[in-house]
Amino acid sequence: MSTTTLEKRADAPASAVTPAGRGRRPGERGPLGTVLLHAGLMVASLIALAPVAWLVYLSLGPDKNDYLHPGGIAGKMSFANYSFVLQHTEFLSWFKSTMIVALGTTVVGVLLAATTGYAVSRMRFPGHKQLMWVLLLTQAFPIAVLIVPMYQIFSDLGLIDSYWALILVNCTTAVPYSAWLLKGYFDTIPIEIDEAGRVDGLTPFGTFFRLILPLARPGLAVAAFYNFITAVAEVAFATTFMLDDSKYTFSVGLQTFVSEHDAEWNYMAATAVLIAIPVSLFFYLVQKNLVTGLTSGGTKG
């Protein structure tokens, strides 16, 4: 009797696995969960792409009032709007000004944010914690409050209608966030690397530039992309500080298509699509490091 019972118990684990297949592990999605996940991702992708696709579609309508009757665009699509923007507007001047401001903001902003984040991450000087909170506090002031005093400051310095005015003012917006992000990323780099650099005879600046910055490339890529996007999309300061129409950036140039009595939405749509090209190209150059930089920068600090 006992022998029969033992044999049944020994056979129990084998019989627990059904012929249809193995049991599902904890946390593993079933077929229904996988289908719902992919369906949700597809819906989210369509929602994100819909405005872009609609903008491209409107840009192909040759008449400025086609946006009122979008169904008629399909029968008369053309690239006339793009030809007009490239040949009969100051688009190339806007492109040059935008690239100067955006790349200048990226270089200066990332350099300031990296040195600030590294100093707070590695050095314990009086007020190092308060410094980061002061940087964060600067983001609490609305742009409308800052325009007048900053205009006065730049006017006294002779920087009105100059690219440096926009580069510096964009850095005041981008550097605080970038410094917080890079400080968190520097915290993930072992301090033993700094010590090894000092043992090898490197100065603090040599350690920073030759050892730390190469390891922080993903975090730098995120900060660079944020600085670039901030400079390209900024409107209020660019409208106020740039007086010469040959120095307009994209954000200011777009406003020339809309006046009190008229609005050329077809040209504005075509210009917006053209603006997206350099931004997308910059994103492509840094996208390999974006995910790593975002996740690593938020794991510590």
pLDDT value at residue 142: 83
Q: 146 vs 132, which has greater pLDDT? A: 146
pLDDT digits (tens, 9 = 90+) for 212-270: 988 888 889 889 999 999 999 899 999 989 888 888 999 888 888 887 777 888 899 99
More confident residue, 1 or 220: 220
Q: How far apart are CA 129 and CA 124, in angstroms?
A: 9
- What confidence score (pLDDT) does residue 12 get? 47
Tokens matching residue 269: 């749509």
pLDDT in tens, 99-114: 999 999 999 999 999 9
Q: What backbone torsions phi and psi does residue 220 show, to the nearest 5 degrees?
A: -65, -35
Summarize pLDDT for 175-200 with one digit per residue, the tens.
988 998 898 888 888 889 888 888 88
Locate 87 and state its tokens: 């040949």
- Residue 109 pLDDT: 94
Q: What is the C-alpha to C-alpha distance for residues 268 and 263, in angstroms, rounded to an integer?
A: 9
Q: What mean pLDDT do residues 33-57 have?
A: 90
Per-residue tokens: 147: 């325009």
Query: In this predicted model, what pLDDT tens digit does every residue of 67-126 receive, in sequence order?
Result: 888 888 888 888 999 999 999 999 999 999 999 999 999 999 999 999 988 988 888 777
| Amino acid 27: pLDDT | 63
Query: By three-state DSSP, how is residue 263 classified?
Result: strand
Q: Where are the alpha helices (DSSP H) in 17-124?
A: 31-59, 80-88, 91-122
238 vs 175: CA distance, rounded Å:
18
The encoded tokens of residue 68 equal: 């009122």
Give yes or no for a contact between 253 and 246, defined as CB atoms under 8 angstroms apart.
Answer: no
Q: How far apart are CA 273 and CA 293, in angstroms?
A: 28
48 compared with 24, residue with greater pLDDT:
48
Rounded Cα gap, residues 212 and 208, in angstroms: 5
Any bridge partners for residue 263, and if so which? 258
CA 292/CA 62 separation, integer angstroms: 43
| Averaged pLDDT, 39-59 | 91
pLDDT at 4 over 80: no
Looking at the DSSP assignment, which residues form a beta bridge with residue 258? 263
Q: What is the pTM of this model?
A: 0.79
* Residue 294: predicted pLDDT: 55
Percent of the chain's residues with pLDDT above 90 = 30
